[in-house]
């Protein structure tokens, strides 16, 4: 077959254009290869919803502007949607169980696909959304908005079908479809008497009103058969109404403050109501006579959402304390909790042997009565929480671990550094630093010395007895970051004036000063051989700078982030740098020539800290949305044979996995190491033979 010359030239041109674009498109990788995520929302959970089969729960973040999806069976966080640019007020699942709808103060409604995280549709509402509801068949969406506006949308196209305006209401806090989809109930903050209104969907006509509450109405819900309507109010009551004629059937009293949410069980026999910050309870009522059946206690602060699980044996709740809780109704107790950081996540490191990820958390300054600081130890392979050191500190903002893994140190907002023994959590030392800023610190490579930064000095202490060995006074700028060289001969200190000073640990003399400027050094990292120093600074043109340690010259500047770079780290072999930035990306760079190799822009919400595992196969990220994430390094060599759980280390976890799956058969079974379709003694022998590989 012959091809005409013009066609051939056009084809070659197209090929050249496509090939020229490949290096650029290869950089944008979207979602990283996530091994596991643990954490939760940064603040109040304003709304929750479950998939029709009860396998997934979606939650809305009032303070972190995210929507998260959780797997109910094990409490795993499986997806975070982060396109909202304001508080997310409400979430709901479509009947397909794979699409989540959310709306908030940024005047947008989003439809998200759970399976791949894609935005199915973005609806520009041009008004703040305070509540939303889906019709039973998922074809229609109702939004409750600012200035008393309700709109009905066609989900398939995002088109507005109907707009209802209520002049005497400021905010529509609640909307709900009737089970047959023919009516919408609404309520909110009215200038006049608090009123629930019932609207006919087909023509937007108001067909009924329900009056009796004396405070504004926060929530409405239809019973499954549509004959009853429940409401919650700031008048401290929940009420049950007959839909047919608007008659008040029951007034439910017992909450000591505002009722924020109500929900019916799927059989219509029970109603759950949730209280605010001064009540903190969930109450279960019998619908037939309004009798109180159960009171559930445990949340701290507002309980913003409640729902029944399929079968009505369990209840799900969420609220101000950032947690989602599942309750056994019959026993009246909590049986599971999602969101393992009840406070704010601040910092993270890998243990030296790579088996644990260690995190520091606690309460932000405005909520120190809600949570105390803790240090948590997570299994690197699967994210299981294996140990917690509870502290009396408001929060643990900075973390470091000794080179042998026996000690962990943390800094608190009381200007103290504390050292705990990992084995039993015993507090060994407390060092009081000068007031001003939370102290920064680092262990020497042999962990015999702790170097700490306070306002204008560097202090070296012997770890064994806490004795002060040396103090370096430095009045030039506020100390902002610190790192030890791999051989322990130098300490690098970054300041608020953009300068990096290299101090000799042997005599405290200044060896060299690198750079300078009017910006804060956010993070410092030495290359494993100590020849290079990487720095990132807030406001420094979003750049990472590589310095030659021996000469002090700038070797290379890495630019691609569209915002301040908050954290940098070298891979253990020194060939890669990982960075995390305020532009909600994690980036991987080749050290040799500064090439940007990967950009991850999904599930990377303003990373505070990024670090490689000791074997370089994993990267941990402490995200600003209170989530701890471990991802696989795409440039690491293939994991050793027998690494069942994918943590690049053949260990007892892999052996236990094979033992527990022994006898299982089928395709794509991770424990079937040799791929013969059955987990048997051959697979166990492979794990035993390769035990310790990659660790």
The per-residue pLDDT for range 155-167, each reduced to its tens digit, is: 999 999 999 999 9
Mean pLDDT of 491-500: 87
pLDDT of residue 29: 67
Closest CA to 291 of 318, 256, 259, 253: 253
User: Both 104 and 222 in a single domain?
Assistant: no
> What does residue 688 show for φ and ψ, rounded to 5 degrees?
-65, -40
pLDDT of residue 40: 84
Mean pLDDT of 147-153: 97
pLDDT of residue 137: 97
Last residue of a domain, one of 84, 117, 150: 117
User: Both 675 and 624 in a single domain?
Assistant: no
User: Could you tell me if residue 392 is inside a domain?
Assistant: no
Tally of CA atoms within 13 A in the half-sphere of 524 that contains its CB: 31
CATH code for position 221: 2.130.10.10
> What does residue 430 show for φ and ψ, rounded to 5 degrees?
-130, 120
User: Could you tell me if residue 52 is inside a domain?
Assistant: yes
Last residue of a domain, one of 79, 98, 117: 117
pLDDT of residue 340: 65
pLDDT of residue 3: 38
User: Could you tell me if residue 344 is inside a domain?
Assistant: no
Which strand ranges, in their side-by-side order, compose the sheet holding 237-242?
Answer: 217-222, 228-233, 237-242, 248-253
Cα angle for residues 96, 97, 100 (degrees, 5° grid): 105
> 689-693: which pairs have CB atoms within 8 A and are 24 or more residues apart?
689/642, 690/640, 690/641, 690/642, 690/650, 691/642, 691/650, 691/651, 691/655, 692/650, 692/651, 693/640, 693/641, 693/642, 693/643, 693/649, 693/650
pLDDT band at 14 (very low <50, low <70, confident <90, very high): very low
CA 637 from chain centre, in angstroms, equals: 29
User: Both 309 and 422 in a single domain?
Assistant: no
Quote the CA–CA distance of 358 and 679 in Å, as a whole number.
33
pLDDT of residue 651: 86
Cα angle for residues 421, 423, 617 (degrees, 5° grid): 95
**Residues contacting 635, CB < 8 A, separation 6+:** 575, 576, 588, 597
pLDDT band at 241 (very low <50, low <70, confident <90, very high): very high
Mean pLDDT of 218-231: 98
Query: Which residue range is the domain that position 545 belongs to?
Result: 404-632
Question: What's the mean pLDDT when you consider all of the chain?
Answer: 91
Last residue of a domain, one of 57, 88, 117: 117
User: Both 438 and 574 in a single domain?
Assistant: yes
> What does residue 287 show for φ and ψ, rounded to 5 degrees?
-65, -35
CATH code for position 98: 2.40.10
User: Both 312 and 444 in a single domain?
Assistant: no
pLDDT band at 365 (very low <50, low <70, confident <90, very high): low
- Tell me the C-alpha to C-alpha distance, in Å, between residue 589 and each of 378, 530, 549, 612: 27, 18, 19, 13
User: Both 158 and 260 in a single domain?
Assistant: yes
User: Could you tell me if residue 390 is inside a domain?
Assistant: no
User: Could you tell me if residue 464 is inside a domain?
Assistant: yes
Q: What is the dihedral of CA 24, 30, 35, 41, to 10 degrees?
A: 140
pLDDT value at 19 more than 80: no
User: Could you tell me if residue 33 is inside a domain?
Assistant: no
User: Both 602 and 693 in a single domain?
Assistant: no
Which strand ranges, in their side-by-side order, compose the sheet holding 585-590?
Answer: 28-30, 596-600, 585-590, 576-581, 565-570
Length of the chain: 695
User: Both 417 and 546 in a single domain?
Assistant: yes
pLDDT band at 645 (very low <50, low <70, confident <90, very high): confident
Quote the CA–CA distance of 150 and 139 in Å, as a whole number.
17
pLDDT band at 456 (very low <50, low <70, confident <90, very high): confident
User: Both 112 and 125 in a single domain?
Assistant: no
Our count of domains for the chain comes to 4
User: Both 212 and 108 in a single domain?
Assistant: no
Mean pLDDT of 381-402: 92
pLDDT band at 24 (very low <50, low <70, confident <90, very high): very low
- H or E, element range at 406: none
User: Both 85 and 225 in a single domain?
Assistant: no
User: Could you tell me if residue 477 is inside a domain?
Assistant: yes
pLDDT of residue 479: 67
User: Could you tell me if residue 384 is inside a domain?
Assistant: no
Token pair for residue 156? 């398939």
pLDDT band at 22 (very low <50, low <70, confident <90, very high): very low
pLDDT value at 123 more than 90: yes
> 151-159: which pairs have CB atoms within 8 A and are 24 or more residues apart?
151/125, 152/184, 152/201, 152/204, 153/109, 153/123, 155/94, 155/101, 155/111, 155/121, 158/121, 158/123
* Three-class HEC string of 454-523: CCCEEEEEECCCCCEEEEEECCCCCEEEEEECCCCCEEEEEECCCEEEEEECCCCCEEEEEECCCCEEEE
pLDDT value at 425 more than 90: yes
User: Both 130 and 252 in a single domain?
Assistant: yes
CATH code for position 685: 1.10.1330.10
């Amino acid at each position: 077959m012959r091809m005409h010359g013009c066609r051939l030239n056009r084809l070659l041109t197209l090929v050249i254009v496509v090939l020229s674009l490949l290096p650029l498109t290869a950089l944008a990788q979207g979602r990283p290869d996530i091994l596991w995520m643990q954490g939760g929302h940064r603040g109040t959970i304003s709304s929750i919803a479950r998939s029709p089969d009860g396998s997934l729960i979606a939650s809305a973040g009032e303070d972190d502007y995210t929507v998260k999806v959780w797997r109910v069976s094990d409490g795993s966080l499986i997806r975070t949607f982060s396109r909202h640019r304001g508080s997310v007020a409400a979430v709901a699942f479509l009947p397909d169980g794979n699409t989540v709808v959310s709306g908030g103060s940024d005047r947008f409604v989003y439809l998200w696909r759970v399976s791949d995280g894609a935005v199915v549709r973005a609806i520009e509402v041009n008004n703040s959304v305070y509540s939303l509801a889906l019709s039973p068949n998922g074809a229609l969406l109702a939004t409750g908005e600012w200035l008393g506006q309700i709109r009905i949308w066609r989900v398939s196209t995002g088109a507005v079908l109907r707009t209802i305006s209520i002049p005497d209401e400021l905010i529509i806090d609640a909307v709900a479809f009737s089970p047959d989809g023919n009516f919408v109930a609404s309520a909110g903050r009215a200038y006049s008497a608090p009123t629930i209104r019932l609207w006919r969907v087909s023509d937007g006509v108001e067909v009924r009103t329900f009056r009796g509450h004396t405070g504004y109405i926060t929530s409405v819900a239809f019973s499954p058969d549509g004959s009853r309507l429940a409401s919650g109010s700031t008048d401290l009551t929940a009420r049950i109404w007959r839909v047919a004629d608007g008659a008040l059937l029951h007034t439910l009293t017992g909450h000591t403050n505002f009722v924020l949410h109500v929900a019916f069980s799927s059989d219509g026999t029970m109603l759950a109501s949730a209280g605010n910050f001064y009540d903190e309870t969930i109450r279960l009522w019998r619908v037939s006579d309004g009798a109180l059946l159960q009171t559930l206690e445990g949340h701290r602060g507002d309980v913003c959402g409640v729902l029944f699980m399929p079968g009505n044996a369990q209840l799900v709740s969420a609220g101000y304390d950032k947690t989602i809780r599942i309750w056994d109704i019959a026993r009246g107790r909590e049986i599971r909790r999602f969101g393992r950081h009840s406070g704010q996540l601040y910092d993270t490191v890998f243990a030296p042997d790579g088996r644990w990820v260690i995190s520091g958390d606690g309460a932000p300054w405005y909520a120190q009565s809600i949570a105390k600081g803790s240090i948590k130890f997570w299994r690197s392979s699967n994210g299981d929480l294996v140990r917690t050191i509870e502290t009396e500190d408001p929060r643990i903002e900075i973390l470091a671990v000794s080179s042998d893994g026996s000690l962990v140190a943390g800094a608190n907002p009381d200007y103290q550094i504390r050292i705990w023994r990992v084995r039993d959590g015993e507090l060994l030392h407390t060092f009081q630093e000068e007031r001003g800023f939370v102290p920064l610190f680092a262990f020497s490579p042999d962990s015999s010395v702790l170097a700490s930064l306070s306002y204008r000095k560097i202090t070296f202490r012997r770890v064994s007895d806490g004795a002060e060995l040396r103090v370096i006074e430095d009045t030039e700028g506020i100390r902002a970051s610190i790192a030890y060289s791999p051989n322990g001969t130098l300490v690098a200190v970054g300041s608020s004036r953009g300068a990096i000073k290299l101090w000799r640990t042997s005599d405290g003399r200044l060896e060299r000063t690198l750079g300078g400027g009017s910006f804060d050094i956010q993070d410092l990292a030495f290359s494993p051989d100590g020849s290079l120093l990487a720095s990132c600074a807030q406001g420094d043109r979003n750049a990472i700078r590589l310095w030659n340690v021996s000469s002090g010259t700038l070797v290379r500047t890495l630019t691609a982030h569209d915002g301040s770079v908050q954290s940098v780290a070298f891979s253990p072999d020194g060939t890669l740098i990982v960075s995390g930035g305020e532009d909600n990306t994690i980036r991987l760079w080749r050290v040799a020539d500064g090439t940007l190799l990967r950009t991850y822009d999904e599930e990377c919400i303003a990373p505070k800290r990024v670090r490689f595992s000791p074997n370089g196969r994993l990267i941990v990220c402490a995200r600003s949305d209170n989530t701890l994430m471990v991802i696989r390094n795409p440039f690491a060599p293939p994991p050793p044979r027998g690494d069942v759980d994918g943590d690049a280390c053949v260990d007892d976890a892999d052996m236990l996995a094979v033992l527990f799956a022994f006898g299982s058969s089928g395709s794509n079974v991770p424990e079937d190491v040799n791929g013969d379709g059955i987990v048997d003694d051959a697979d166990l022998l492979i794990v035993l033979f390769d035990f310790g590989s990659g660790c």
